[in-house]
Structure 1
Protein backbone atom coordinates (compact mmCIF):
# COMPACT_ATOMS: atom_id res chain seq x y z
CA UNK A 1 0.00 0.00 0.00
CA UNK A 2 1.62 3.24 -1.12
CA UNK A 3 -1.08 5.48 0.38
CA UNK A 4 -0.25 6.77 3.86
CA UNK A 5 -2.84 6.72 6.66
CA UNK A 6 -3.19 8.37 10.04
CA UNK A 7 -5.15 7.14 12.99
CA UNK A 8 -6.60 8.73 16.08
CA UNK A 9 -7.40 6.82 19.24
CA UNK A 10 -9.37 8.80 21.84
CA UNK A 11 -7.90 12.07 20.58
CA UNK A 12 -4.24 11.02 20.16
CA UNK A 13 -3.07 10.85 16.54
CA UNK A 14 -0.15 9.23 14.76
CA UNK A 15 0.75 7.79 11.38
CA UNK A 16 -0.54 4.26 10.81
CA UNK A 17 1.92 1.43 10.31
CA UNK A 18 4.64 0.83 12.86
CA UNK A 19 6.41 -1.71 10.66
CA UNK A 20 6.43 -4.12 13.60
CA UNK A 21 3.26 -5.87 12.45
CA UNK A 22 1.49 -6.41 9.16
CA UNK A 23 -1.28 -3.84 8.55
CA UNK A 24 -3.99 -6.39 9.38
CA UNK A 25 -2.21 -7.40 12.62
CA UNK A 26 -1.81 -3.70 13.47
CA UNK A 27 -5.56 -3.10 13.06
CA UNK A 28 -6.29 -6.11 15.29
CA UNK A 29 -3.84 -4.83 17.90
CA UNK A 30 -5.28 -1.30 17.92
CA UNK A 31 -8.91 -2.44 17.99
CA UNK A 32 -8.09 -4.85 20.82
CA UNK A 33 -7.10 -1.78 22.89
CA UNK A 34 -10.73 -0.63 22.92
CA UNK A 35 -11.85 -1.47 26.47
CA UNK A 36 -14.43 -0.14 28.88
CA UNK A 37 -12.88 2.51 31.08
CA UNK A 38 -9.85 2.74 28.77
CA UNK A 39 -9.79 3.66 25.08
CA UNK A 40 -13.10 3.72 23.23
CA UNK A 41 -12.75 5.40 19.81
CA UNK A 42 -10.57 4.68 16.78
CA UNK A 43 -10.46 6.64 13.50
CA UNK A 44 -8.32 5.92 10.43
CA UNK A 45 -8.11 7.82 7.17
CA UNK A 46 -5.77 8.53 4.26
CA UNK A 47 -3.15 11.28 4.30
CA UNK A 48 -3.09 13.12 0.95
CA UNK A 49 0.08 12.82 -1.14
CA UNK A 50 2.64 15.52 -0.43
CA UNK A 51 1.15 16.46 2.94
CA UNK A 52 3.23 16.15 6.10
CA UNK A 53 1.55 14.08 8.83
CA UNK A 54 1.54 16.93 11.38
CA UNK A 55 0.00 19.34 8.85
CA UNK A 56 -2.63 16.73 8.03
CA UNK A 57 -3.55 16.31 11.71
CA UNK A 58 -3.70 20.07 12.34
CA UNK A 59 -5.23 21.32 9.08
CA UNK A 60 -5.93 18.31 6.92
CA UNK A 61 -9.00 17.34 5.00
CA UNK A 62 -11.12 14.94 7.05
CA UNK A 63 -13.50 14.03 4.25
CA UNK A 64 -12.70 10.31 4.22
CA UNK A 65 -12.29 8.10 7.26
CA UNK A 66 -13.50 4.95 8.96
CA UNK A 67 -14.18 5.07 12.69
CA UNK A 68 -15.51 2.92 15.48
CA UNK A 69 -16.65 3.40 19.07
CA UNK A 70 -17.20 0.95 21.90
CA UNK A 71 -15.10 -2.00 23.00
CA UNK A 72 -13.29 -4.78 21.15
CA UNK A 73 -16.26 -7.04 21.91
CA UNK A 74 -19.08 -4.60 21.02
CA UNK A 75 -18.53 -1.67 18.66
CA UNK A 76 -20.22 0.37 15.98
CA UNK A 77 -18.39 1.26 12.76
CA UNK A 78 -19.01 4.43 10.79
CA UNK A 79 -17.75 5.54 7.39
CA UNK A 80 -17.39 9.15 6.36
CA UNK A 81 -16.71 9.91 2.72
CA UNK A 82 -17.37 12.23 -0.18
CA UNK A 83 -19.99 10.61 -2.41
CA UNK A 84 -20.02 10.73 -6.21
CA UNK A 85 -22.19 13.88 -6.08
CA UNK A 86 -19.42 15.70 -4.14
CA UNK A 87 -21.29 15.74 -0.81
CA UNK A 88 -19.73 14.75 2.52
CA UNK A 89 -21.83 11.98 4.05
CA UNK A 90 -21.57 9.86 7.19
CA UNK A 91 -22.78 6.24 7.24
CA UNK A 92 -23.24 3.55 9.86
CA UNK A 93 -21.92 0.20 8.64
CA UNK A 94 -24.05 -2.91 9.00
CA UNK A 95 -24.86 -6.28 7.51
CA UNK A 96 -28.20 -5.22 6.02
CA UNK A 97 -30.62 -6.44 8.68
CA UNK A 98 -34.14 -5.35 9.60
CA UNK A 99 -34.29 -1.60 10.23
CA UNK A 100 -37.97 -1.25 11.03
CA UNK A 101 -38.57 0.94 14.04
CA UNK A 102 -35.92 2.94 15.82
CA UNK A 103 -32.45 1.50 16.54
CA UNK A 104 -32.29 0.15 20.09
CA UNK A 105 -28.82 -1.29 20.73
CA UNK A 106 -26.80 1.12 22.85
CA UNK A 107 -23.01 1.08 22.63
CA UNK A 108 -21.40 3.21 25.36
CA UNK A 109 -18.06 4.92 24.80
CA UNK A 110 -15.93 7.64 26.43
CA UNK A 111 -16.29 5.88 29.77
CA UNK A 112 -20.06 5.72 29.43
CA UNK A 113 -20.51 9.47 28.93
CA UNK A 114 -21.57 8.98 25.29
CA UNK A 115 -23.68 6.33 23.60
CA UNK A 116 -24.16 5.26 19.99
CA UNK A 117 -27.57 3.72 19.30
CA UNK A 118 -27.66 1.30 16.37
CA UNK A 119 -29.57 -1.66 14.96
CA UNK A 120 -28.45 -5.22 15.89
CA UNK A 121 -26.84 -5.81 12.45
CA UNK A 122 -24.64 -2.73 13.06
CA UNK A 123 -22.79 -4.21 16.05
CA UNK A 124 -19.33 -5.70 15.46
CA UNK A 125 -16.67 -7.55 17.43
CA UNK A 126 -12.90 -7.56 17.02
CA UNK A 127 -12.34 -10.11 14.23
CA UNK A 128 -14.99 -8.81 11.84
CA UNK A 129 -14.08 -5.18 12.57
CA UNK A 130 -10.43 -5.97 11.86
CA UNK A 131 -11.42 -7.41 8.46
CA UNK A 132 -13.49 -4.31 7.63
CA UNK A 133 -10.75 -1.86 8.63
CA UNK A 134 -8.10 -3.84 6.75
CA UNK A 135 -10.24 -4.06 3.62
CA UNK A 136 -10.86 -0.30 3.69
CA UNK A 137 -7.14 0.27 4.20
CA UNK A 138 -6.34 -1.80 1.11
CA UNK A 139 -9.17 -0.66 -1.17
CA UNK A 140 -10.33 2.66 0.35
CA UNK A 141 -13.89 1.34 0.23
CA UNK A 142 -16.07 -0.97 2.29
CA UNK A 143 -16.24 -4.67 1.41
CA UNK A 144 -19.26 -5.15 -0.90
CA UNK A 145 -20.97 -7.55 1.53
CA UNK A 146 -21.71 -4.69 3.96
CA UNK A 147 -24.57 -2.23 3.89
CA UNK A 148 -24.57 1.39 5.00
CA UNK A 149 -27.21 3.56 6.60
CA UNK A 150 -27.00 7.32 6.17
CA UNK A 151 -26.44 9.01 9.51
CA UNK A 152 -27.37 12.69 9.73
CA UNK A 153 -24.67 14.55 11.65
CA UNK A 154 -26.64 17.82 11.71
CA UNK A 155 -27.57 19.13 15.15
CA UNK A 156 -31.30 19.47 15.74
CA UNK A 157 -32.58 23.01 15.28
CA UNK A 158 -33.85 24.67 18.46
CA UNK A 159 -37.60 24.98 18.79
CA UNK A 160 -38.95 28.54 18.40
Structure 2
Protein backbone atom coordinates (compact mmCIF):
# COMPACT_ATOMS: atom_id res chain seq x y z
CA UNK A 1 0.00 0.00 0.00
CA UNK A 2 1.26 3.47 -0.90
CA UNK A 3 0.66 6.62 1.15
CA UNK A 4 -2.85 7.87 0.28
CA UNK A 5 -2.92 11.03 -1.83
CA UNK A 6 -6.62 11.23 -2.64
CA UNK A 7 -9.99 11.27 -0.93
CA UNK A 8 -13.13 9.62 -2.23
CA UNK A 9 -16.74 10.12 -1.28
CA UNK A 10 -19.83 7.98 -1.79
CA UNK A 11 -23.31 9.45 -2.23
CA UNK A 12 -22.15 12.88 -1.05
CA UNK A 13 -21.90 11.62 2.53
CA UNK A 14 -19.32 8.93 3.28
CA UNK A 15 -15.75 10.00 2.58
CA UNK A 16 -12.30 8.70 3.41
CA UNK A 17 -8.77 8.19 2.20
CA UNK A 18 -8.73 6.45 -1.19
CA UNK A 19 -6.57 3.37 -0.65
CA UNK A 20 -4.80 0.77 -2.75
CA UNK A 21 -4.61 -1.83 0.03
CA UNK A 22 -6.84 -4.40 -1.72
CA UNK A 23 -5.91 -3.80 -5.36
CA UNK A 24 -3.86 -1.27 -7.40
CA UNK A 25 -5.50 2.14 -7.93
CA UNK A 26 -6.69 1.57 -11.53
CA UNK A 27 -8.38 -1.67 -10.50
CA UNK A 28 -9.81 -0.10 -7.33
CA UNK A 29 -11.37 2.73 -9.34
CA UNK A 30 -12.90 0.22 -11.75
CA UNK A 31 -14.12 -1.95 -8.84
CA UNK A 32 -15.76 1.00 -7.07
CA UNK A 33 -17.49 2.32 -10.19
CA UNK A 34 -18.80 -1.14 -11.07
CA UNK A 35 -20.59 -1.25 -7.70
CA UNK A 36 -22.78 1.76 -8.58
CA UNK A 37 -26.40 0.59 -8.70
CA UNK A 38 -28.32 3.90 -8.71
CA UNK A 39 -30.05 3.02 -5.43
CA UNK A 40 -27.80 2.35 -2.42
CA UNK A 41 -24.68 3.52 -4.30
CA UNK A 42 -25.36 6.22 -6.89
CA UNK A 43 -22.59 8.86 -6.68
CA UNK A 44 -18.80 8.75 -6.34
CA UNK A 45 -16.34 11.65 -6.08
CA UNK A 46 -12.55 11.78 -6.06
CA UNK A 47 -10.15 14.61 -5.23
CA UNK A 48 -6.49 15.12 -4.36
CA UNK A 49 -5.79 15.64 -0.67
CA UNK A 50 -3.95 18.83 0.25
CA UNK A 51 -0.16 18.47 0.29
CA UNK A 52 1.01 17.15 3.65
CA UNK A 53 -2.50 16.28 4.88
CA UNK A 54 -2.66 13.57 7.53
CA UNK A 55 -5.61 11.53 6.28
CA UNK A 56 -5.65 9.60 9.55
CA UNK A 57 -6.39 12.86 11.34
CA UNK A 58 -8.94 14.52 9.02
CA UNK A 59 -10.55 14.10 5.62
CA UNK A 60 -10.72 17.58 4.05
CA UNK A 61 -13.08 18.60 1.28
CA UNK A 62 -11.83 20.22 -1.92
CA UNK A 63 -13.28 22.78 -4.29
CA UNK A 64 -11.84 20.78 -7.21
CA UNK A 65 -12.95 17.21 -7.87
CA UNK A 66 -14.25 14.64 -10.33
CA UNK A 67 -17.60 12.97 -9.71
CA UNK A 68 -20.09 10.66 -11.35
CA UNK A 69 -23.73 9.72 -10.78
CA UNK A 70 -25.88 6.88 -12.04
CA UNK A 71 -25.21 3.17 -12.37
CA UNK A 72 -22.40 0.95 -13.60
CA UNK A 73 -24.30 0.63 -16.89
CA UNK A 74 -24.94 4.35 -17.42
CA UNK A 75 -23.29 7.17 -15.51
CA UNK A 76 -22.51 10.83 -16.11
CA UNK A 77 -19.11 12.30 -15.18
CA UNK A 78 -18.55 15.84 -13.98
CA UNK A 79 -15.44 17.75 -13.04
CA UNK A 80 -15.00 20.99 -11.14
CA UNK A 81 -12.03 23.33 -11.53
CA UNK A 82 -11.18 26.69 -10.00
CA UNK A 83 -9.75 29.63 -11.92
CA UNK A 84 -6.69 31.31 -10.37
CA UNK A 85 -9.07 33.94 -8.93
CA UNK A 86 -11.10 31.21 -7.20
CA UNK A 87 -14.09 31.20 -9.58
CA UNK A 88 -15.52 27.69 -9.83
CA UNK A 89 -16.48 26.05 -13.13
CA UNK A 90 -18.42 22.77 -13.37
CA UNK A 91 -18.21 20.68 -16.53
CA UNK A 92 -19.86 17.60 -17.97
CA UNK A 93 -17.28 15.18 -19.40
CA UNK A 94 -17.89 13.45 -22.72
CA UNK A 95 -16.34 11.85 -25.72
CA UNK A 96 -16.07 14.07 -28.78
CA UNK A 97 -19.58 14.49 -30.11
CA UNK A 98 -22.36 16.72 -31.28
CA UNK A 99 -23.62 19.24 -28.73
CA UNK A 100 -26.29 20.84 -30.89
CA UNK A 101 -29.78 20.92 -29.50
CA UNK A 102 -30.65 19.99 -25.96
CA UNK A 103 -29.22 16.98 -24.10
CA UNK A 104 -31.55 13.97 -24.29
CA UNK A 105 -30.09 11.16 -22.15
CA UNK A 106 -31.50 11.04 -18.61
CA UNK A 107 -29.37 9.44 -15.91
CA UNK A 108 -31.38 8.66 -12.77
CA UNK A 109 -29.77 8.31 -9.36
CA UNK A 110 -30.59 8.20 -5.64
CA UNK A 111 -33.21 5.51 -6.26
CA UNK A 112 -34.80 7.63 -9.01
CA UNK A 113 -35.32 10.71 -6.83
CA UNK A 114 -32.87 12.76 -8.92
CA UNK A 115 -31.67 12.85 -12.49
CA UNK A 116 -29.25 14.61 -14.77
CA UNK A 117 -29.73 15.05 -18.52
CA UNK A 118 -26.68 14.79 -20.77
CA UNK A 119 -25.81 14.25 -24.42
CA UNK A 120 -25.45 10.64 -25.63
CA UNK A 121 -21.65 10.97 -25.88
CA UNK A 122 -21.60 11.98 -22.17
CA UNK A 123 -22.99 8.62 -20.97
CA UNK A 124 -20.33 6.20 -19.71
CA UNK A 125 -20.25 2.64 -18.43
CA UNK A 126 -18.28 2.08 -15.22
CA UNK A 127 -15.36 0.59 -17.17
CA UNK A 128 -15.26 3.60 -19.52
CA UNK A 129 -15.52 6.02 -16.60
CA UNK A 130 -12.67 4.23 -14.80
CA UNK A 131 -10.27 5.25 -17.59
CA UNK A 132 -11.22 8.92 -17.17
CA UNK A 133 -11.05 8.76 -13.37
CA UNK A 134 -7.64 7.09 -13.35
CA UNK A 135 -6.21 9.77 -15.66
CA UNK A 136 -7.69 12.41 -13.34
CA UNK A 137 -6.19 10.57 -10.34
CA UNK A 138 -2.74 10.81 -11.96
CA UNK A 139 -2.90 14.34 -13.40
CA UNK A 140 -5.86 16.26 -11.89
CA UNK A 141 -7.03 16.78 -15.48
CA UNK A 142 -9.50 15.21 -17.90
CA UNK A 143 -7.42 13.46 -20.59
CA UNK A 144 -7.64 13.83 -24.36
CA UNK A 145 -9.70 13.09 -26.39
CA UNK A 146 -12.50 13.74 -23.87
CA UNK A 147 -14.17 17.13 -24.02
CA UNK A 148 -15.67 19.38 -21.38
CA UNK A 149 -19.03 21.13 -21.58
CA UNK A 150 -19.41 23.92 -19.06
CA UNK A 151 -22.60 23.71 -17.05
CA UNK A 152 -24.65 26.78 -16.21
CA UNK A 153 -24.94 26.75 -12.44
CA UNK A 154 -26.27 30.29 -12.13
CA UNK A 155 -29.56 28.87 -10.88
CA UNK A 156 -27.70 27.72 -7.75
CA UNK A 157 -26.61 31.27 -7.01
CA UNK A 158 -30.12 32.58 -7.70
CA UNK A 159 -31.64 29.93 -5.42
CA UNK A 160 -29.25 30.75 -2.57
CA UNK A 161 -29.87 34.49 -3.07
CA UNK A 162 -33.63 33.91 -2.81
CA UNK A 163 -33.14 32.07 0.46
CA UNK A 164 -31.22 35.04 1.87
CA UNK A 165 -34.33 37.27 1.93
The Cα offsets for residues 100-144 of structure 1, whole Å up to 9 and x where unpaired, read as: 111111000001000010011100002110111011111111112
User: What is the correspondence of 1:1-160 to structure 2 with a 5 Å cutoff?
Assistant: 4-10=5-11, 11-53=13-55, 55-57=58-60, 60=61, 62-83=62-83, 86-155=86-155, 157=158
Higher mean displacement: 144-153 or 106-115: 144-153
Gaps spanning 5+ residues in structure 2: where?
Answer: none
Cα-Cα RMSD:
2.0
Query: Post-superposition shift, 1:3?
Result: 6.8
- Local SS of the residue matching 1:48: coil
Gaps spanning 5+ residues in structure 1: where?
Answer: none
- Local SS of the residue matching 1:131: helix
Query: Post-superposition shift, 1:95?
Result: 1.1
TM-score (norm 1): 0.88
How many matched pairs?
156
